Structure 1
Amino acid sequence: WVSKERAAEQLLSWGVLDEGSADFLAKAPEYEAKQVVSALGPDVRNPSAFVTRKLKGLLGGAASAGSAAPSVETIPFHHNGTLHSLQWFSKEQALTELVRCGVLDEVSADFLLKAPDQEAKDIIASLGPDVRNPSAFVTRKMKGLRGGGAPAESQRGPQRSFPTVVVHT
């Protein structure tokens, strides 16, 4: 396995896949593409339909039923100082990929899942080369956008003290 693009090209040249399913395979995330190709066995009668159906299932039905290949948006982001590209089929798929690759932890990915798609894309794209902890960065951005961040000391107003109640059982 060199790459998903090379695998799709080879399967197309051998006549195993048609143009549409080969293109779909080439545009899918690497991990999912590998999963689907490894599942192709001698009992699969229509490999093109199999690949398309499996990828649609793995990607959460991101592709519409009438098209062989979904439209793919690519989101650039940095991780460990290196520029990466995230293929965006759906928010769920993209965040799963970021967790799988160790960019985000589960908690920050779940938090980002609550954002509208465009907001989530913007936050991921804002992961610059200077961001050392992407999970904390995402959580901080989400809290800021949701108004859930702690206000600065000067914005808190007068401090009130409340009685402490201790319950012994």
Structure 2
Amino acid sequence: MQTTVVTGDITTQQVDAVVNAANRAMRGGGGVDGAIHAAGGPAVLADCEARFPDGLATGDAGWTTAGEMPARWVIHTVGPNRHAGEDDRSLLVSCYARCLGVAGELGARTVAFPLVGAGVYGWSAEESITAALEAFEGMGTVVEEARFVAFGEAAYDVARQALGR
């Protein structure tokens, strides 16, 4: 699997699936979650309500339609909130592993990832990207490209350095 990094808006990526850094309720929120729900339109929320009436557990992932976005699917994952005392790094690694697993179940060949947990959940961009790379290492998948979409130059530089580019 090829890993790449770009800067930009995850909601406009021309990929099979985009990953949403969601909250447990899966009813929209701020940051990446809010942007995905806004860009995807009401179909994303309706699918979240139908498929995940009780939300998702931290470290887990599940999919919905992408609604009006160019992608076909949204893979939602709930990262650990360090500010709420969830500092178990294995949950962050699990987010990425579960997303890759769900992508494989869907047959998605290209997946755009945000830096899960970075930002309001208190993990650094470096911690997030290294957790992703740890999850991806040796994992068999049909995914051909895992694209990290960094919001801003600072996150881009951290991700690029971690990927050895």
- Larger RCO, structure (CA 8 Å, separation 6 or more): 2
Greater share of helix: 1
Same fold, judged at TM 0.5 (above): no
TM-score by length of 1: 0.27
Higher-strand-fraction structure: 2
Structure possessing the higher radius of gyration over alpha carbons: 1
